[in-house]
Every structure is written in structure tokens, then in C-alpha cells.
Chain A
Amino acid sequence: LAKTTQPISMDSYEGQEVNITCSHNNIATNDYITWYQQFPSQGPRFIIQGYKTKVTNEVASLFIPADRKSSTLSLPRVSLSDTAVYYCLVGFRRDNAGNMLTFGGGTRLMVKP
């Protein structure tokens, strides 16, 4: 399984763009990169997933360089409600056997007024 490394914590202010980088040096060819968000007392929630280059949805963007050894989750104009733990996962889908993903320690984002 690919091991991921992310900052333990980050602080930001409302209205700023936040970029959280995840390192995954031993990512395999079949691996996808997925980010989840977790609020206190809730289960994680899927944010975005990508394989290469850039992926954008209504809440975030995911930037993946050509070598795929890292990825950056970008949250535009954060608000207080974006205060949460963000997890970077790297894994693949095994044929007929579901996902192979491992959660790391995550990055605790604190958004201040």
C-alpha cells in the first residue's frame, strides 16, 4: 500500500485559499488519489478523487503533477465551516473485490475569523 505523508495541522483565515499537499512517493500505476473531509463526531466525507493532472468539482480542486508522487488539495475561499480534518488516501480498486485504501493521520485545518 502506498504510504502518504501530510502536514499534521494548518491554520488559515476566512476567505483565503488553502492548499494541503500530500506526498506519496511509492504510488503505483493503478493507484488513485482520494481526499476525504471529517468533522468532529461525524464519519469522513468524500471530497474529490483524481488520477493525474487536475480535477475540479464544486467544492475543491486536486492538482497532481506528472510524476504523481504528490498531490495538492485546494480549497478556494475557506469559511469557518471548513474547519475539519482532511485525509489523503492512495489506493486502487481490486477487480471484483472492492477498494484497497488506507487512511493516514490527516491534516487538521483550523479556519479563523
Chain B
Amino acid sequence: EAGVAQSPRYKIIEKRQSVAFWCNPISGHATLYWYQQILGQGPKLLIQFQNNGVVDDSQLPKDRFSAERLKGVDSTLKIQPAKLEDSAVYLCASSLETGFVDEQYFGPGTRLTVT
């Protein structure tokens, strides 16, 4: 079974520039998550989709971050404009609705450096 795919793996941009990350979840997984992980900290949930609807985006800085999940499959996360404090690893995860607290499958992440 193919895992969660993310691209790019690394990105370096200057502050005030924009950047986009792409995620392809495991086939058939209804739920998709975007996390931000700053070095030395645990992952912080930014947004959670159920199919193509947003379930939770309470921690998404909506003035600069946006995300969409078209057709309930792939998803993109955009930052515009980027700030220095956005330097982090952006993780995408997906889960299959099973009736229990679902196991999340994580992608390798995109390491963003803002200079």
C-alpha cells in the first residue's frame, strides 16, 4: 500500500514570499490533516478535512495560511506571505474512518526554511 506522499521535501524562500505544499493521502482515506512541527516541538494541527469539508481549522493562521482539498483527495497548503517564524516541517497525515480513534498515517513532511 502506498503511503502519504508530500512534495516538495525541502523549500527555502525569503520572507514575504509565497509557498505551496502538496499532499496525496492514502487511497480511500476520508480524513486529511496538515500539521506544523517546529524544531524540538510536537506536531501542531493546522487544519483537518473530512472528505473535502473542513472539520477543524481553529489553529490555522488564516491571515496568511490557506488550505484546500479538491474532490476529497489531494490537498494543498499555502502560505502567503511567509514569515521567519513559519520555518518548520509541514506534515500531512491521513486516516481511515473506522469507528475508533483513527490511526493517522503521516507523510515524510516538507521542511520549510524562511530567510
Contact = CB atoms under 8 A, between A and B. Distances in A.
Do A and B assemble together? yes
Interface of A: 32, 34, 36, 41-46, 49, 87, 91-94, 96-106
A93 B102 contact: yes
B106 A49 contact: no
B95 A98 contact: yes
Contacts of A44: 43, 91, 104, 106
Sorted nearest first, the 10 A-B pairs with minimum C-beta distance are: A43-B106, A103-B42, A32-B101, A98-B31, A46-B103, A93-B101, A103-B43, A97-B55, A43-B91, A98-B55
A30 B91 CA distance: 27
B101 A92 contact: yes
B108 interface: yes
B104 A46 contact: yes
Contact of A91 (B55, B101, B107, B108): B101
Contacts, number: 68
Interface residues of B, number: 28
B25 interface: no
A106 B104 contact: no
Interface string B67-109: 0000000000000000000000001010101011111111111
A99 B31 contact: yes
Given A45-B106, A49-B101, A91-B101, A102 B45 contact: yes
B84 to A, nearest CB: 22
B48 A98 contact: yes
B108 A42 contact: yes
Nearest to B48: A98
Given A43-B4, A98-B97, 5 more contacts: A44-B91, A96-B50, A99-B95, A99-B104, A102-B45
